[in-house]
Structure 1
Amino acid sequence: MRETAEQEKKLLEPKEDKQLARRLMLLFFIVFVVFAVLVLRLAHVQLVAGETYAMLSENNQLKRLPITAPRGRILDASGEVLVDNQTVFTVTFQPLEGRNQPKQDIQAIAEHLAKVLEMEPKEVLEAMDVGPQRRMSSYIPRRIKSGISPEVMAYLEEHRNELPGVDVVPEPMRKYVYGNFLSHVLGYTRPVPADEKDKYLAKGYRADDRVGVFGLEAQYEDVLKGIDGYMEVLVNSRYEQVGKKNVVAPVRGHDLVLTIDRDFQAKVEAILAETVRSLAKKGVRQASAVVLDPKTGAVKAMANYPNFDPNIFNGKISPEVYAKEIQGREQNIAINGSYTPGSVVKPATVLMGMHEGVITPKSRLPAGVIHIGGGRTVSDGGRASGMITAKVALQRSSNVFMVGIGERMVKRHPGPYQDLFPVFDRYYQMFGLGQKTGIDLPKESIGLRGRDKYYGNLLYMTFGQYHNYTPIQLAQYVATIANGGYRMQPYLVQEIRRGTDRPGEEAEVIWRKTPKVLNRLPMNPAYIKDVQEGMRMVASPGGTGYRVYQGLPFQVAAKTGTAQTGAGDNSLILGYAPYHNPEIAFVVVIPKGGAGSAVSGPVSRKIIEAYFGLDKKETQGEDR
């Protein structure tokens, strides 16, 4: 029995070993397959899709917080800083959406900030940019208000625990060093306008960035804007900041160097302000003056009164502040104010007549009084009579002589007189009248064109009683005569320099303006010389501007203008000095000022004296 049991045991043992072996082999095979799949998957991730996953990982974790770059400075012709940057403190808000972040009661925070910052809760909520329709990612702080006082900053720091997500950070803000000085030229910055948001976002701006919206700040936005820096932060899948990785400093924008000297510009502004204030009882509210270098087109002065302080636009503007400090002051009337020019267009009319061959320098036309039909009469007001030449007509400002040129043009040209309106326009546009001058400022106007094409209006055009022109057009026009017939493009920026914040470092000039000739008058140089002589006679004995310039150490060429508007006469004068080698061409426009020689004339003399330093000599004489 015992032998039988042992034999059965020996028969069963091999079968059990074989089953165990098979099971182990199956287990090894399964483990091998699993590891093989894992290895193949890892190889795919590392070798095939590694770059893609790395980029996804980087984008999911590494974010950039922008650091606003300071804008470039604006300097006068001598390098004096007119527009700079100052550090202000800005209240920001950042949504905290992480699991471990403090809970934010958005409405309560908005109401709290509204009281402290003197804003409306709705305005604060809009700036906080929360909710499904938000404009920016949650990890980016939103600007709520810039330029807060030290007291507000201290309060916010003290109540930080009550305002989770609220912070105070330093930022650059524009500083217009001399307040309302040159305000219409310099311009100002504002947050990105709502109606232009898409345009700026497409250029890489942030929705709460500040941009130039007026003046040179707008014209040279791409130059003045710097390159924003950034701070790289690590965020998790809930966009919580979990660390900092790198900081790239911002690069300041480039600097503009103007053609304008601060001292001279300041004197011109003071002259206009004094003049308007002295005439306030007569209803005068505005004045404008432009001074150009007739050889290059460089603007030496561009002044309007009244003006405004661009620093106001750094913050929120209440209706009260707008009404008191800005309303009626913001328009740059030198480039988009339209004024009936009156007799100052007569030199262009004379050149038109000579070029058309209807008169010559020796031609004599009647002056005094003339009837032009329709019951209308044109008179010279006793300034001129008899048969006179073109030079005398300019000297004594004869309307009747100019009408004579117009009538001869009508007789000379076949077809209806209406066809001559565009012919006259084309001649005046040769000088820059009735078209944009090309000055480097936005929103330049072409003026206001007359519409009714009556025969009388055609003749009125010859002495400046039809179209309205801007002061910059009139300045370009007289500069064209002064330099012998070259219409130069006016410009304000003569250089662009690379922005630098290193003390003592000389900024690199990266662009310099080359004067540009827009067109040359097709007239005989002898005709231009004849008109120049007639304008010199205006400032000589017998001329309408003789008393204005009497006693100056050099000769001046000028043309006075008193334009009838139906609501008070516009007072104008334009000219250039010195007569033999012009350094400046000028125009002064005083709406509702009255006679050109009596009102604008003295202003132009003071401007000439200021430019050539004659005002200093007079002051020194008084001191002695």
Structure 2
Amino acid sequence: MSKKKKSHIPIRLNILFSIIVLLFGVLVYKLVDLQIVNVSNYQTLSNQTKAVQVKTDVTRGQIYDRNGTLLVGNQSYTTIDYTRKTNDAKEMVEVAKRLAALLSLPNNELKERDLKDYWALTHVEELNSRLNSQEKRLSGAELYEVQLSKITDDDIVYSDEEKKVIMIFTRMNSVSMLESVSIKNRDVTSLEVAQVTDQLQSLSGVSIGSDWERVYPQGEILRSLFGSVSTEKTGIPETEANAYLAQGYSNNARVGTSYLEKAYETVLKGSPKVTTVMFDSNHKIMSSQETFAGKSGSNVMLSIDLELQKKVENILTSFLANGVGERGLNDSIYAIVQRAKTGEILAISGKKYGYDAQNNKYTFEIQDNVLGAINANYNMGSSVKGATVGIGYKYGIITETNNVLIDSPIQFQGSAPISSVFNREGTMALSDVEALARSSNIYMLRIALAVGGQTQIEDQGLLTIRPDTLSVLRKELGAYGLGAYTGIDLPNESKGYAPNDSVNVGAAYVSFGQYDLYTPLQLSQYVTTIANGGIRYAPRLAQDIRSAENMLNSSGTLQANLAPSIMNTIDLTSSQIGRIQEGFYQVTHNPYGTDYSTFSSYYPSVSGKTGTAEAFYNGDIKQDTQVEVDNRTFVAYAPSTDPEISVTVVIPNLEPNSPRYRADSPGIVARNIFSAYYNR
């Protein structure tokens, strides 16, 4: 029997354990050295180095219409950039001189202060010699201001080539450590790129980069609604600097400063490129490494239908063009199209005549005024009466089975007579539906006064409503969007205008649209709320957010769908809302309806409400501010039975003697807009 082989495993284990013990010993030694023996040395070394993160802007996201048509894009440019890596002004001057020899640059941006700053920097000893002993004891900004005062006009006479150097240096000196600035960001030639690239080794901080600016392929369509983006020179707005800096923006970051560009800044801006820079104790750069490549901004797809938008703009332009040459004060027109069940804005437009301030007259050049649809406010007249009927139902003043009120002229002590256009002298019993179809002012007045506790009304009698009646009515009207912020995804929308609350008779007039002033957008939100059965949606311009990573789809792949935002729901039953809707239907389908002639045979069926408000002209021509005019409005939706869209038209400042002074003018404009939508 042979001997059993001896195993080598214990020997290998012993060797492995020995190695582990040795390595552990080395680790312990290093820890002792780090934390006890040489702790002060390592701490000093740590203090001598510093890591700084540098952020560089990326390309901004673009804006498209709902069908993927580009509305706001970017035009890219090659740039010559400078990243400040030193506070040594003399080094920067040397770089500026080298760049000046390579680049073609205008020098007309220079100010006297720039020239003096440069002279002070390059003539330190001579400048100090001009100070007296008392001035030399000054310090900081106070000293520098005195030094600048010693610089004469003769000192700052420079050649064009020297001015080019000064301009480059001024730009370089305008940024803080590790911030970047474009030395030349337009019209950079291939020769300049080649020359700078060839000498980059001797041009510390200089690089070849890229810049962009916003372009608008559709011209002026919705241009003002898109808003603006700051330049690298203007950077973040001074008034909002703290907020932007707290979010990690740099001072010269390009940001949206108004409207859609500002509203969707966080989406459009993207994520900046991040570079980690290590400095030694002398503030010299030890290393630089890109730690995040950056990500371009996301694209915003709007709810706007560009083709419909163009048609609506043409309709409004044609309306104003028909009045060119008239003296008439009707200077503008507005229209909005919304999806009834989401609040999305499909088209929004405003047009106005140009104004010659020097000669105080209209030029009759038709200009875009889409912002007026959001910020201009007017008395809207009877188109708001649907909300007043809703208030009557909410407060139990009328019911579905008991809703007849008397329409007859009335005059309260100390106020003007009030009556309905169709009934200046007689007495008529009207239901809620008839009151809407015929547009009864008195029916609405009775509801408003009953809300205030006054149910008995006598001619030449007193108003005895509660003092808070107008405030209560305004709150209820606000639930429909009238006199309230609509919640649109834009900054700085107007809330309209509400006169003094202490006037009791205001409660009567506000009930039929003759007291408070509303914006076209508020009127649009109101009719959309009635159309969909009582849900008040925030009007929305952005439909969804998309990334541009999928190059097969120019508008990008879906990142986020922006769901409709509900502001509130009207506190009425569906059948009560149905009564208001029936009243709107009778406006356009009953022979006594106020817009029967325009829509009685129109397909699909349209329901709506007309409005006429007596007002004073409030346009640009100052001597006419007391001229009496009418504001004509029309709000509608279609189809009547299952509304798809709402249309709002506002035509202010119509004079009774104007050829365009027709009760059905806004209705005709609305009909053309419905046709533009359904005949796409």
Name the TM-score, length of structure 1 as normaliser. 0.76
Q: Secondary structure at the match of 1:587?
A: strand
Counterpart of 1:48 (choices 39, 46, 62) is: 39
Cα distance, 1:516–1:307 mapped onto 2, change above 3 Å:
farther
Counterpart of 1:427 (choices 455, 476, 481) is: 476
Q: Secondary structure at the match of 1:417?
A: coil
Cα distance, 1:596–1:144 mapped onto 2, change above 3 Å:
farther
Cα distance, 1:229–1:492 mapped onto 2, change above 3 Å:
same
Counterpart of 1:86 (choices 61, 75, 91) is: 75
Report the more deviating stretch, 115-124 or 371-380.
115-124
Counterpart of 2:420 (choices 363, 380, 388) is: 380
User: What letter corresponds to residue 356 of structure 1 in structure 2?
Assistant: Y
- Give 1:403's aligned residue: 445
Cα distance, 1:398–1:142 mapped onto 2, change above 3 Å:
same
What do residues 169-225 of structure 1 show as CA deviations (whole Å, max 9, x unaligned)?
421322233222222432221131122223212221121111111122111111111
| Contact preservation (8 Å) 2:93, 2:169 | no
What is the CA distance between 1:124 and its match in structure 2?
6.9
Counterparts of 1:212 and 1:465, CA distance in 2: 38
What do residues 543-579 of structure 1 show as CA deviations (whole Å, max 9, x unaligned)?
2212222442221111111222211322211111110
What is the CA distance between 1:233 and its match in structure 2?
6.6
Counterparts of 2:336 and 2:551, CA distance in 1: 36
User: What letter corresponds to residue 315 of structure 2 in structure 1?
Assistant: I
Counterparts of 1:421 and 1:468, CA distance in 2: 14
What do residues 94-140 of structure 1 show as CA deviations (whole Å, max 9, x unaligned)?
66765994745989999x99981643436978997989x97743454
- Give 2:298's aligned residue: 254
Counterparts of 2:309 and 2:478, CA distance in 1: 28
- Give 2:626's aligned residue: none
| Contact preservation (8 Å) 2:454, 2:464 | no
Cα distance, 1:117–1:398 mapped onto 2, change above 3 Å:
farther
Counterparts of 1:259 and 1:431, CA distance in 2: 22
Q: Which runs of 5+ in 1 are unaligned?
A: 1-38, 309-323, 617-624
User: What letter corresponds to residue 521 of structure 2 in structure 1?
Assistant: I
| Contact preservation (8 Å) 1:403, 1:460 | yes
Q: Secondary structure at the match of 1:534?
A: helix
Counterparts of 2:501 and 2:236, CA distance in 1: 42
What do residues 412-453 of structure 1 show as CA deviations (whole Å, max 9, x unaligned)?
499743221122122212212121122211112221112153
| Contact preservation (8 Å) 1:290, 1:586 | yes
1:604 maps onto 2:670 in alignment = yes
Cα distance, 1:552–1:232 mapped onto 2, change above 3 Å:
same
| Contact preservation (8 Å) 1:395, 1:538 | yes
- Give 1:457's aligned residue: 506
- Give 1:285's aligned residue: 331
Cα distance, 1:51–1:262 mapped onto 2, change above 3 Å:
farther
Counterparts of 1:122 and 1:167, CA distance in 2: 29
- Give 1:11's aligned residue: none
Report the more deviating stretch, 588-597 or 117-126.
117-126
- Give 1:569's aligned residue: 630
1:337 maps onto 2:328 in alignment = no
1:207 maps onto 2:284 in alignment = no
User: What letter corresponds to residue 639 of structure 2 in structure 1?
Assistant: P
| Contact preservation (8 Å) 1:287, 1:591 | yes
1:181 maps onto 2:181 in alignment = no
Cα distance, 1:299–1:41 mapped onto 2, change above 3 Å:
same
1:484 maps onto 2:523 in alignment = no
Q: Secondary structure at the match of 2:212?
A: strand
1:74 maps onto 2:77 in alignment = no
Cα distance, 1:45–1:154 mapped onto 2, change above 3 Å:
farther
Counterparts of 1:141 and 1:376, CA distance in 2: 68
| Higher share of residues assigned helix | 1
Counterparts of 1:489 and 1:575, CA distance in 2: 18
Counterparts of 2:504 and 2:572, CA distance in 1: 26
What is the CA distance between 1:532 and its match in structure 2?
1.0
Cα distance, 1:155–1:489 mapped onto 2, change above 3 Å:
closer
Matches within 5 A, 1:64-213: 66-90=55-79, 92=81, 101=91, 103-104=93-94, 116=106, 118-121=108-111, 136-143=175-182, 146=185, 148-149=186-187, 169-190=209-230, 191-213=235-257
1:560 maps onto 2:610 in alignment = yes
Counterpart of 1:471 (choices 509, 513, 520) is: 520
User: What letter corresponds to residue 183 of structure 1 in structure 2?
Assistant: R
- Give 1:353's aligned residue: 392
| Contact preservation (8 Å) 2:349, 2:370 | no
| Contact preservation (8 Å) 2:388, 2:511 | yes
Counterparts of 1:251 and 1:482, CA distance in 2: 42
Q: Secondary structure at the match of 1:372?
A: coil
Counterparts of 1:572 and 1:561, CA distance in 2: 5
What is the CA distance between 1:328 and its match in structure 2?
9.2
- Give 2:596's aligned residue: 546
| Contact preservation (8 Å) 1:180, 1:307 | no
What is the CA distance between 1:69 and its match in structure 2?
0.6
Cα distance, 1:458–1:207 mapped onto 2, change above 3 Å:
same
What is the CA distance between 1:277 and its match in structure 2?
3.3
What is the CA distance between 1:230 and its match in structure 2?
4.5
Counterparts of 2:42 and 2:67, CA distance in 1: 55
Report the more deviating stretch, 570-579 or 291-300.
291-300
Q: CA RMSD in A?
A: 4.3
Q: Secondary structure at the match of 2:350?
A: strand
User: What letter corresponds to residue 562 of structure 1 in structure 2?
Assistant: T
| Contact preservation (8 Å) 2:546, 2:555 | no
Cα distance, 1:120–1:51 mapped onto 2, change above 3 Å:
same
Q: Which runs of 5+ in 2 are unaligned?
A: 1-29, 118-165, 355-362, 457-462, 618-628, 656-660
| Contact preservation (8 Å) 2:384, 2:512 | yes
Counterparts of 1:54 and 1:508, CA distance in 2: 49
| Contact preservation (8 Å) 2:448, 2:473 | no
| Contact preservation (8 Å) 1:104, 1:164 | no
Counterpart of 1:580 (choices 641, 653, 662) is: 641
What is the CA distance between 1:231 and its match in structure 2?
5.3
Q: Secondary structure at the match of 1:88?
A: strand
| Contact preservation (8 Å) 1:129, 1:136 | no
User: What letter corresponds to residue 608 of structure 1 in structure 2?
Assistant: F
- Give 1:619's aligned residue: none
Cα distance, 1:246–1:536 mapped onto 2, change above 3 Å:
closer
What do residues 457-484 of structure 1 show as CA deviations (whole Å, max 9, x unaligned)?
2211111111111222211111111112
User: What letter corresponds to residue 348 of structure 2 in structure 1?
Assistant: M
Counterpart of 1:268 (choices 297, 306, 312) is: 312
User: What letter corresponds to residue 414 of structure 2 in structure 1?
Assistant: G
Cα distance, 1:570–1:149 mapped onto 2, change above 3 Å:
farther
Counterparts of 1:307 and 1:88, CA distance in 2: 37
Report the more deviating stretch, 351-360 or 584-593.
351-360
Aligned residues: 553
- Give 1:302's aligned residue: 348
